[in-house]
Amino acid sequence: MKYHDLETQSQEKREARQWKAIRKLLEKAAKHSEEFRARLERAGLSLGDLNSLSAYSSLPPLRKKELISLQSEHGLSWLLTCKPGELRRIYQSPGPIFDPEGAESDYWGWAEGFFAAGFRPGDLVQMTFSYHLTPAGLMLEEPLREIGCAVIPAGPGNTDVQVDLMRRLPVTGFVGMASYLKVIGEKARGLGLDLRKDLGIRKAFVAAERLPESLRAEVEEMFDCTVRQGYGTADVGCIAYECETPRGMHLSSRAYVEICDPETGLPLPVGETGEVVVTPFTRDYPLLRLATGDLSSLIEAPCPCGRTSLRLDGIKGRADDTAKVKGQFIYPAQAAQVAAKFPQIAAWQIVITNPGGMDRIAVRLALTGEIDAGAFQTAFQATLKLKPEVVCLGAAEIAQDAKRLVDERTF
């Protein structure tokens, strides 16, 4: 059962539709987007050079990490094709990056993914993503309302309250991070509840962190539910999603997705690993060929569900020097700003691990004197939105040229 006919289009019809949408975006961006015009000029291109889907790939990608400096230097309006007051909402993600939301229905494109994950009219869904300033909560609530679900805007944390809501209300669906659903399940068990009998969770849509198969299997067994994941960013919304047969993530019909060489920005053959480059078909904030920094490859083999789109073969790492932890990107440049406030720090290194499938972040500090580890932890959390473990070391225990961000996670 599909949300709409676009999911089963032939490759020829899909590419024709994609090019039609991109052509309209290019025309509008050429008239109104200062960022797009500047990118064309730097590349020595004209709008007429981008006259087909293949020619479009000659446009240099816009890198996600560039958005911080572009918005800071030029202002948000430099990237828009409308006035800021004509948008529906403006969010802010850590970085900080402004994330505009235009006026289109299901602007972020997640309804298709939720439907594929089994959400239907009449479901009562507990939303555990944040509603404050960042886009996740509202971004993922509105498509559920499009489908016909009711939503409990629980937000993150307050695990005792989360359990109580699930116990007292006929909650059938969960949206959030899989690791947090596991925490909720463990809390409920600790309170003496039978997760399969006392709670009604039968479907979960998870995002914002990688989903190891071990964690998926554990949560599904705990609740007797299905766990399906979506992949997207706060800038563009939905990029891909799992169906009832989770063998890769179907590319969303509301965007054009390429797998590209991280160095050249040019598309790679199907099956090769490269950077995910995405163009959402959104008119007010035309992120044309946004390079996400995530690495993946495409699966061409038919899916048993009947959808005809190519699929992403999971997220295999990062193409740049950032990493995503618990839904937040870690930027070493931000960590450097925090470290600079503490003169006792001679060198530092962020180490990310995932014991038992749960992301953990530690900051190793090479010190020339005593430091208030709690004050550093607080300053780090205030800037990077994550609370790290702080490991204090001698001044010579981290080399000055050591890699600042070490991702030791295994999946």
Check residue 148 and give its pLDDT: 98
Backbone angles phi, psi at 82, to 5 degrees: -140, 175
Cα end-to-end distance, the chain, whole Å = 31
CATH tag for 5-103+235-320 (out of 3.40.50.720, 2.70.150.10, 3.40.50.10880, 3.40.50.12780): 3.40.50.12780
Q: How far, in Å, are 40, 61, 62, 64, 237 from residue 35 at the CA level?
A: 9, 12, 9, 13, 20
Look up tokens 């959400």; give the residue: 119
Check residue 18 and give its pLDDT: 98
DSSP string, 114-151: HHHTT--TT-EEEE-S--SSSSHHHHHHHHHHHHT-EE
Low-confidence ranges of the chain (pLDDT < 50): none
Classify residue 156 by its DSSP letter: S
Is 73 exposed, middle or buried (CB count within 10 Å of its CB: 0-12, 13-18, 19+)? exposed
Note if the bond before 96 is cis, omega within 30 degrees: yes
CA nearest neighbour of 148 among 205, 102, 192, 106? 106
pTM metric for this prediction: 0.84
- Write the CB contacts of 26 (distance below 8 Å, at least 6 apart in sequence): 36, 47, 50, 56, 288
User: What homologous superfamily does CATH list for 324-407?
Assistant: ANL, C-terminal domain (3.30.300.30)
Tokens of 274: 């490269």
Q: How far, in Å, are 8, 93, 127, 243 from residue 303 at the CA level?
A: 11, 34, 29, 9
Check residue 304 and give its pLDDT: 95
Q: Around Cβ 47, how many Cβ atoms within 10 Å?
A: 15
Q: How many helices (H) does the chain have, and how many strands (E)?
A: 12, 22
Single-letter amino acid, residue 246: P
For the chain, the domains span: 5-103+235-320, 111-230, 324-407
Q: Around Cβ 66, how many Cβ atoms within 10 Å?
A: 13
Check residue 107 and give its pLDDT: 95
Give residue-wise pLDDT tens across range 141-161: 999 999 999 999 999 999 999
Classify residue 368 by its DSSP letter: S
Can 5-103+235-320 and 111-230 be said to share one CATH topology? yes
Q: How far apart are CA 304 and CA 298, in angstroms?
A: 16
Tokens of 153: 């805007």
Looking at the domain that runs over 111-230, which CATH code has it been given? 3.40.50.12780
Nearest-10 Cα torsion for 266, 272, 275, 277? 60
Q: How far apart are CA 356 and CA 403, in angstroms?
A: 25
Check residue 314 and give its pLDDT: 92
